[in-house]
Structure formats: structure tokens, C-alpha cells
Structure 1
Amino acid sequence: MRIVPRLAKGTDYEGPVLAQQIEAAAEDLLLPLLRKHGAEDRLLHALLTEVKGSTPRWRLDLQMTLPRDRIATASAEAPDPETAVAQAVRRLFRDAKRHVDLLIDRKRQRRQKQKNARAAITARLAALPADTAPASQAGITPLLERLRAVARRELAYLRAAGDLAPDWPTLDDVVDEAAVATREAWDPTRPGEKVWLALLRNLFKVLNCEVAANRVFGEAVSLDAPPPEDARDQAEAMVEEEFLEFHQPDESLTLADVLPDDIAPLADAPAEDETAAEQALLADVVKDLPQAWRRAWLLQDLEGLSVAAIAEVLETTKARAESWITEAEAFLSARIEDAGIVRQAGLRLTLRRTPG
């Protein structure tokens, strides 16, 4: 742990002394916790303030970034710096331990959830009718790599928007769920293109369920009810849960994050190429689209689907699907223009590799 001590203006104290006191106070509890979970190299920012008044008071504010970008803070005010340090470090340890315990519990729950999901998929596959199981497997197998590319792209955008956690669900989980759902409703007379649309439709249904499960809904609290005995602890726990559920999303996406190699722009394209610059920006700003607009636009641009097919996949009307694509195009064009990129007249926006 590296301590960065700071003194507020007008505070008469020694920074190195403050750092030594914090390190000594952290030796028993906080440092062992950080070492155990591989976070001993974290920066701890400390600000000591001498509170002027008739009675001397000292205030210490601590801040540290924990694993998963959780910012832990603690403060204490006491008659002397040593007491303020001891109290603030103790509170920071309590906050950090709560965070670590919840992360461990969340990981355990996810492992169990994944195990249960795998068992459920196995049971659903075993329940498929004997006369359709081989045919359904043969029917979807050639399409699974394409489905994985779409799922990988959607997961990247949902995680960048903060709608899904960075480690759940996995790519295999959502693809397997979509494949099983498609096989369960297998129709041997369905042409290959309709099978592809069914796979996409089921994939988006699976992702919608995961997004809904990832959301945290607030509970109503009566304003007339008495406050809890330890309101501070409860408030800290609520903040903790928000940080756990709403992780810090990626600030930007690259083409490599969302496109398969066969349609991404060439890696050695010159940096001054306006088309390459436009596509790089486009891949990032697509994440700002509403979900329906984004899916409709990408299905047309990258999958080459007709408006009718997009409407079938997204379970909406042709008119609405067409309006989503139009609105998305207008939004993206405006963002590209705001960035100062001059587009060739008559060329539509696309993430596909353009002929050189």
C-alpha cells in the first residue's frame, strides 16, 4: 500500500509523520486484507485538516480504489491526529472488508448459477424428441459461429453501457441458451434463413433476461418509520451494493471489440484515412444508441438483414423497425459530424470493411 499524505491549507503537521501513523494503524487489519486479495499495491490518499476553533480538532479523510474500481472512503474527526488516524483506518478497513466479502459471495453465487444453468441446458437437450434432435443439431451447427460473433458484439455493447457485469454472462452461456431454445421449437420445414432469424431472436431474448436480472430495483422506505439503529452502516452498505452492481463501464470501444476479423477494417490502414477514423469513432458511439435502435441498425449493417427480417428478429412491426434504423442513422451521422469528420456525399455509415 502506497500512502499519499496531504495537508489542508493552514494545517501544521508533517506529511511523512502522517504517512507513518497511517501505515502503523493499517498493519493489523487493513494491510493483511489487501495482501490476501492481491491489492497491496493500492494508493491510499489521505488529507489531514486542522479544524480551527476554541477546541482543537483534527479531521482525516481517506480514499482508496479497491478491486473492481470500487472507491472506498472513510473519515474521522478527533481531538488529536493519532486518534483520527486510528478511527479513519478502522472505518476504511470495515468498508474494504464488506466490499471484498460481497465480491466473494457474488462470485460464489455466479458459479452456482452457471452450474445450474449448465445442468438445465443438459436436461433440456436430453428432453428433445429423438426424431428431431439430430436434425436440429445439424441445422444450427453451421450457424453457430455467426451467432457467436453477434453475441460477442452485443455483450461488448451491453457491458460498455453498464447493462451487464464484465464477467457474467459468458459468451458460451448465451449462445448455448439461444441454441437450445431454437432446437426446442424445431420445425423441419423451416428454411435455413428462418433458422438464422430464430437463433438471433432467441439470443436477444436471452440477453434481455440477463440485463433484467442484472438491474437493482430500489425498495420503498416509509418516511414515518424510525431510522435504523446504525444508519451509517446501512447507508454504507447501500452505496456498496450500487458500486457492485453498477460497475464502471468501459469508456470506449474499438472495432476489435465488436467486429469479427473478416469484416473489420484492415489493421494496417493509415491513421490519416478518413474512412478508418470514421469507422473507429462509429464503433464507439454506437453504444450510445438506445438498445432497439442499435440492434436494428447493426442487424442491417453487419448481418445484411432486410427490414422485414429485422422486425421478425426484434418482434416488432416493419414500420417501427424501419424508424429505428432511420433514427439510429441520423443520430450516428450527427455524432460523426460533431467530431469534425467530413463524410463523402452519398455514402452511408457502415462498420463493414470498405473496398480499398
Structure 2
Amino acid sequence: GAEDRVLHAVLTELKGPAPRSRLDLQMTLPRDRIVTASGEGPDPEAAVAQAVHRLFREAKRHFDLLIDRKRQRRPARLKARAAIAARLDALPEATAAASQTGIAPLLDRLRTVARRELAYLRATGDLAPDWPTLDDLVDEAAVATREAWDPTRPGEKVWLAVLRNLFKVLNREVAANRVFGQAVSLDASPPEDAEDQAEAMVEEEFLEFHQPGESLTLADVLPDDTASVADAPAEDETAGAQAFLADVVKDLPLAWRRAWLLRDLEGLSAAAIAEVLETTETRAETWIAEAEAFLSARMDDAGIARQAGLRLTLRPTPG
């Protein structure tokens, strides 16, 4: 809402033979997009008019893109849900009943894995913050598993099949998101000139202007002499190391991260991981070893592994 947005404005009187004014504007829009604009003129009113015009143009460009994405995704999701329902209806009655009974106990575990993968893919920018949804991923993986249902397959093999289908769905979404990221909204107005387009691409205006907020004072950056070390709460080193490790994991290459997490959190063997990721056992072992080396080096650089004596493992979190 508009009440949640703050517009920062800095008006500067420029030195020179003729009086001129410069206005720098900065605002944060939804999806954490920082929009900046500047204007100059012989008087403050002219600088304000130019800067506000540019800011409005950049904001409109941003919102046009968001609206276009929502307009495209809403029917796409409805179509995908209808397709899933049709695929389930096409299953033979015996297969539908047996597959539902066999897969139902695995859905909570599947949601946990899917939620974790979504978090990492969104953190690395491979997926948008709101698409696909967790339910979409779980339903797609479940229906793909039920379509290829084998009543003679043991429960552990069913779990591996569900995971394999989940990663296939995620890979398709990542590929689609990369293609969509290069698309241009047909509803958005074209830039007024090539120079403005170039500035927007390299964020020149943002890089040339930075001003701390008006609420920042000298007292905010000076140490507090009245505070003592004894007053500070004791930090849980293990919890801190766990948080650091969870953050560093996102920097792993995709295959390394999935292999390591399947071993670390799901307790799968190298052979099972190879089956899920559709690779060889030797390559799965290599991915895990490379991930271990990367994480160990990053934690050693931070001085965490030796401080906390932490084994490179993540504790599973509920949900």
C-alpha cells in the first residue's frame, strides 16, 4: 500500500555561474526494487517536475511488469490444476486407489523437501518469490508418481520416485523462469529514448547517488560507552554456526547442493541419490565430496568450524 512506501528526496543547490537546483529521489517498491530518479533545472520547481516525471515512469515500468506476470500466471495455474485433475481422472480405478494409499504417507516429507528447495532457488534468484507455489510442486510430483505406479515397488523406492519427480518439476520451472526473465511486458510503455533505457539497464542513477536516511545520526554509529560485554546476551555458537551453514549452502552449485542435502537431511545413500538425480553413483559421490570441501573451506574462512567444532550437517527443521 502507499502508506508503506517512503519517498526520500534530497534537494541540492549546484554551484556555477547560473543558479541551478538538483533533486534526487529514491523509493523502494514491492519486490524490494529500489527506484531512483534525478532532475535538474534553473529553479527547484523545474528540478522537482523533471525528477518526479522520471520516477513515475520507472515505477510504472516496474508495476506494468508485475501486472503482466500476474496476468500470465493466473490462467496458467488454473490450466495446470485442471490438467492435474484430468490426469488423475484418467487413472484406472485400482491404480488410483492403490497409488493414493501408497503416496499419502510421503506427502508431508515431500512438502518439507519441496519447501527447502523453493527457499534456496528463490534465494539464488532461479525462481520468482510467488511462483510456483508449494502446493503446485507437491501435486505435480505426486501425480507423476501415481501415473507410473508400480504395486510391486517397495516403499523406499516410492520415496525415491517422488523425489525424482519433484526435482524434474523444479528443473522445468527454473528453465521456464529463465526464459521468462528475458521477456518484455507488452503492456509496458516503451522507454522515451535510448539514453534513458541504457541508464536503467546499468542502474547508473542508483550508483551515482547514495544518501543515508534522515533518521541516521552520529550517535547511531558511535560505540556506546555505557554498555559492557557482560550485559550482552550469550550467543549460542552452535546455533550461529548452523545459521551460517544454512546460508552458505545456497552458494553451492545446484547438483552439489541437492546431493549433499539428500545425504545430510534425508539420509540417502550415494546409490539412492544417483537414482533420484538420474546420474551415476560415482558422480553423486563426487558432488557430495565437492560440496563438503566447499562448505568446509567457507566455514574455516569464517572461523566457525574450529570455534564450534561443528560437523558439516544441517539439523532437519519441522515444516
Q: What interval of TM-score do these two structures reach, taking the shorter chain for normalisation?
A: 0.7 to 0.9
Residue number in structure 2 paired with 1:111: 74
Shift of 1:107: 2.0
Residue in structure 2 matching 1:167, options 106, 130, 137? 130
Does residue 203 of the first structure (1) align with residue 203 of the second (2)? no
Q: Identify which of 312, 330, 354 aligns with 2:275.
A: 312
Q: Give the 3-state SS of the residue equivalent to 1:68 in structure 2.
A: coil
Q: In the alignment, what sits opposite 1:259? A: none
Letter of the aligned partner of 1:189 in structure 2? T
> What is the TM-score normalised by the length of structure 2?
0.79
Unaligned runs of 5+ in 2: 184-190, 204-232
C-alpha distance in 1 between matches for 2:307 and 2:49: 64
SS at structure 2 position matched to 1:304: coil
Q: CA deviation at 1:70?
A: 1.2
- What is the rounded CA distance, in whole Å, between the counterparts of 1:46 and 1:212 in structure 2? 40
Measured in 2, the distance between the counterparts of 1:327 and 1:51 equals 55
Displacement of 1:273 after TM fit? Answer: 4.6
**Partner in structure 2 of residue 156 of structure 1:** 119
C-alpha separation in 2, matches of 1:196 and 1:137 = 13
Q: Look up the equivalent residue of 2:177 and give its one-letter code.
A: N
Q: Taking structure 1 as reference, are residues 84 and 200 closer, same or farther at Cα in structure 2, changes over 3 Å only?
A: same
Query: Residue 274 of structure 1: CA displacement?
Result: 4.0
User: What is the Cα deviation at residue 347 of structure 1?
Assistant: 7.2
Residue 122 of structure 1: aligned partner: 85
- Give me the whole-angstrom Cα distance separating, in 2, the residues matched to 1:271 and 1:120: 54
**Following TM superposition, by how much is the alpha carbon of 1:139 offset from its aligned partner in structure 2, in angstroms?**
1.4
- Structure 2 Cα separation of the partners of residues 48 and 273 of structure 1: 46
* Conserved 8 A contact 1:39-1:67: no
- Measured after TM superposition, the shift of residue 193 of structure 1 is 1.1
User: Any idea what SS the aligned residue of 1:187 has?
Assistant: coil
Aligned residue type for 1:84:
A
Describe how 1:14-163 pairs up with structure 2 within 5 A. 38-163=1-126
Amino acid at match of 1:330: A
Any idea what the Cα deviations from partners look like across 1:242-300, whole Å, max 9, x if unmatched?
A: xxxxxxxxxxxxxxxxxxxxxxxxxxxx9655433332222221111111111101101
RMSD (Å) for aligned C-alpha atoms: 2.6
1:293: which partner in 2?
256
Would the aligned equivalents of 1:159 and 1:165 in 2 still touch at CA under 8 Å?
yes
Change (3 A) 1:148 1:41: closer
Query: Which amino acid in structure 2 is aligned with residue 72 of structure 1?
Result: V
Distance of aligned partners of 1:302 and 1:140 in 2 relative to their CA distance in 1, 3 Å threshold: same
* Structure 1 gap ranges (5+): 1-37, 220-227, 241-269
**Matched letter for residue 161 of structure 2:** A
TM-aligned CA distance change 1:344 to 1:97, over 3 Å: closer
1:326-337 equivalences under 5 Å are 326-337=289-300
Question: What is the CA–CA distance in structure 1 between the aligned matches of 2:200 and 2:309, rounded to whole Å?
Answer: 54
**How much does 1:342 deviate?**
4.3
> 1:52 Cα deviation (Å)?
3.5
Structure 1 pair 76–201 and aligned structure 2 pair: CA distance change class (3 A): same
Residues paired across the two proteins, number:
279
Check whether the contact 1:62–1:75 (CA below 8 A) recurs between aligned residues.
Answer: yes
How far apart, CA to CA, are the structure 2 residues paired with 1:271 and 1:309?
41
Q: Which residue number corresponds to residue 216 of structure 2?
A: none
- Residues 289-332 of structure 1: CA deviation (Å, up to 9, x unaligned): 11111110110111110100000101111111001101111111
What are the Cα deviations for residues 80-131 of structure 1, in whole angstroms up to 9, with x where unaligned?
Answer: 2211111211221222223223222322322222111111111111112233
Tell me, in whole angstroms, the C-alpha distance in 1 between the residues paired with 2:193 and 2:244.
48
SS in 1 for 2:94: coil
CA change 1:300–1:48 in 2 (3 A) is same
Residue deviations 1:204-229 (CA, integer Å, cap 9, x gap): 0111111111115659xxxxxxxx97
Aligned mate of 2:285, from 297, 322, 336:
322
CA contact (8 A) 1:42 1:66 kept: yes
Render the CA deviation track for 1:8-61: whole Å, top value 9, x for unaligned.
xxxxxxxxxxxxxxxxxxxxxxxxxxxxxx123422222333343444332222
CA distance in 2, matches of 1:102, 1:229: 17
Q: In the alignment, is the contact (CA less than 8 A) between 2:35 and 2:58 conserved in 1?
A: yes
Between structures 1 and 2, the one with greater helix share:
2
Q: Which amino acid aligns with 2:280?
A: T
The one-letter code sitting in structure 2 at the alignment partner of 1:157 is Y
Normalising by structure 1, we get a TM-score of 0.71
